[in-house]
Amino acid sequence: MSSILIVSFPAQGHVAPLLAVAENFVKRGDDVRFITGTQFADKVAGTGATFVAVHPDADFDDRPLSERFPDRAALKGAKAIAFDIEHVFAKPAKPQYETIIAALASHPADVVIADVASLGAGFLLGQPRSLRPPVIMCGVIPLPIESRDTAPYGMGLRPARIMNGARNAMLAAASRRILRQAFGAINEIHSQVHGVDMPFSFMDWGRHAEAIAQFCVRSFEYPMSDAPANLHFIGPLCANGSQAPLPEWWSDLDGTRPVVHVTQGTVANTDYDQAIAPTLRALADEDVLVIVATGGRPLDTLPPLPANARAASFLPYDELLPRTSVFVTNGGYGGVQYALRYGVPIVATGGKEDKPEVGARIAWSGVGRRIRTEHPSPKAMRRAILDVLNSPRYRQASRRVAADMAAAPGFAGLADIVDRLVPNPAAPQSDSCEVEAQQ
């Protein structure tokens, strides 16, 4: 039995995949503790892991960043990334690190598993390896590590067909100028902890961990000629699916009309103009069935539904997605991965956080189309959805990715990484699946 300490940035899209990790390690007999925000205490307890509250200075509510930081609303690209690094990730890093150190002091761990946004776990790498457990960075967002083959993270730019390296070098130089203040804030906090600047960038700390476990497959991620040896694509974890009951209108999914499913996840679902409202207006006169999931919001908050639309707060995705022809989203990574497991092609709108990177990979991999704006017009939405619905190449590409996901090791891959890092692992590997958290 191994002692495992999981650390997650307190946001739904980061916590949910690691809840699955926790549950699987508990099921195979490991001792699991989970550091995150207090709002997730019950969900952590539900996995069988021991909840450890992160320091209050590193905790916050799960509202969209634009609501918590009004000054951020007008920022895009590298400027939005700079704001997030300084205000969202850097400031909580020291109290998060102190929570990790206190947890290790009270009960040593054989390994620390953390998501990429948990900069406090990145600070742990400032200790000599002999004084700390191995650290695994889990990729719950598109792979953010720096590479000469990719544009700086947050710009949402695919690899260029011509002069890609030169373009990326130019953009990286410009990005460093924009991010100077943000990285300066990280260096100042790292110096408070270790007495020196952070020796690598926030985006790149995974390269210096003992392993990166990316919850994706290579076919949905840009190729990198300089990829680190510690990078492992384990695929999305095998999900048990939502336990949501079948809505009363479920029999309408009788196969007579193509199904277009639209959702904005469980967090960024207050502004329906991002995806739901323009989809409803775009397809009101089309011979399709539009299925809306509000992610928990009351149904009476939706705009009026046309005759060809149905809605529910939550839906059983393992029942719905095999019946779905097009998945429409505002770009949440978890929802996109879930749709791709079933080979469903995608239309993604623009947005902030990691959403531009998700949309860029959708377009690059050929599994669907992205609309760059956060508030698309019904006309643009209709054009994109009908193209994806009627062009076989998108579904063919999605099915290729689905096949890769089916062949990926999932939790067994992560367990193997842990067991290779921990001397003499006592616990057998498990083939059990995790609970699903809709995003």
In degrees, to the nearest 5, what angle opens at C-alpha 123 toward C-alphas 122 and 126?
110
Q: Could you give the CA distance from residue 282 to residue 380 in angstroms, rounded to a whole number? A: 8
Q: Is pTM, for the whole model, over 0.95?
A: no
Together in a domain, 325 and 288: yes
In a domain, 29, yes or no: yes
Q: Could you give the CA distance from residue 13 to residue 140 in angstroms, rounded to a whole number? A: 8
| pLDDT score at 12 | 87
Q: Could you give the CA distance from residue 50 to residue 52 in angstroms, rounded to a whole number? A: 6
In a domain, 437, yes or no: no
Q: How confident is the model at residue 350 (pLDDT cuts 50, 70, 90)?
A: confident
What is the average per-residue pLDDT within 148-154?
A: 93
Together in a domain, 359 and 337: yes
What is the average per-residue pLDDT within 37-45?
A: 96
Residues constituting the chain: 439
Extract the tokens encoding 327: 């998945």
Number of domains in the chain: 2
Together in a domain, 176 and 156: yes
Contact between 8 and 34 (Cβ < 8 Å): yes
SS3 115: strand
Together in a domain, 380 and 414: no
**pLDDT above 90 (res 217):** yes
Nearest to 82 by CA among 8, 172, 154, 173: 154
Together in a domain, 177 and 314: no
Q: Could you give the CA distance from residue 320 to residue 242 in angstroms, rounded to a whole number? A: 10
Share of the chain above pLDDT 70, in %: 92
Mean pLDDT of the chain: 91
| pLDDT score at 23 | 96
pLDDT: is 435 or 219 the higher one?
Answer: 219
In a domain, 306, yes or no: yes
What is residue 110's DSSP assignment? Answer: S
How far from chain centre, in Å, is Cα 139?
A: 7
Together in a domain, 231 and 309: no
Together in a domain, 343 and 215: no
In a domain, 435, yes or no: no
H-run or E-run covering 22: helix 12-27
Together in a domain, 254 and 233: no
In a domain, 430, yes or no: no
In a domain, 429, yes or no: no
* CB neighbour class for 106 (10 Å; exposed up to 12, middle 13-18, buried from 19): exposed
Model pLDDT for residues 403-417, shown as the tens digit of each residue: 999 999 999 999 999
At how many degrees (to 10) do helices 355-365 and 333-341 cross? 30
SS3 186: helix
Model pLDDT for residues 105-138, shown as the tens digit of each residue: 999 999 999 999 999 999 999 999 999 999 999 9
In a domain, 97, yes or no: yes
In a domain, 244, yes or no: no
Q: Could you give the CA distance from residue 154 to residue 353 in angstroms, rounded to a whole number? A: 7
Q: Could you give the CA distance from residue 197 to residue 183 in angstroms, rounded to a whole number? A: 10
Q: Could you give the CA distance from residue 78 to residue 428 in angstroms, rounded to a whole number? A: 44
Ranges 49-63, 202-216, 235-249, most confident: 202-216
Contact between 103 and 33 (Cβ < 8 Å): yes
Q: How confident is the model at residue 241 (pLDDT cuts 50, 70, 90)?
A: low
Model pLDDT for residues 421-432, shown as the tens digit of each residue: 997 644 444 433
Model pLDDT for residues 354-392, shown as the tens digit of each residue: 889 999 999 999 999 999 988 999 999 999 999 999 999
Together in a domain, 277 and 262: yes
Model pLDDT for residues 81-110, shown as the tens digit of each residue: 788 888 888 889 999 999 999 999 999 999
Signed CA dihedral, 371, 372, 378, 383: sign only: negative
SS3 304: coil
Q: What is the CATH number of the domain that holds 122?
A: 3.40.50.2000
| pLDDT score at 263 | 94
Together in a domain, 36 and 135: yes
**pLDDT above 90 (res 302):** yes
Backbone angles phi, psi at 220, to 5 degrees: -110, 15
Share of the chain above pLDDT 90, in %: 77
Q: How confident is the model at residue 351 (pLDDT cuts 50, 70, 90)?
A: confident
Together in a domain, 98 and 230: yes
Contact between 292 and 260 (Cβ < 8 Å): no
**pLDDT above 50 (res 437):** no
| pLDDT score at 425 | 47
Domain residue limits at 103: 3-238+410-421
| pLDDT score at 433 | 39
Model pLDDT for residues 160-188, shown as the tens digit of each residue: 999 999 999 999 999 888 888 888 999 99
Together in a domain, 291 and 386: yes
Model pLDDT for residues 42-73, shown as the tens digit of each residue: 999 999 999 999 999 999 876 666 667 777 76
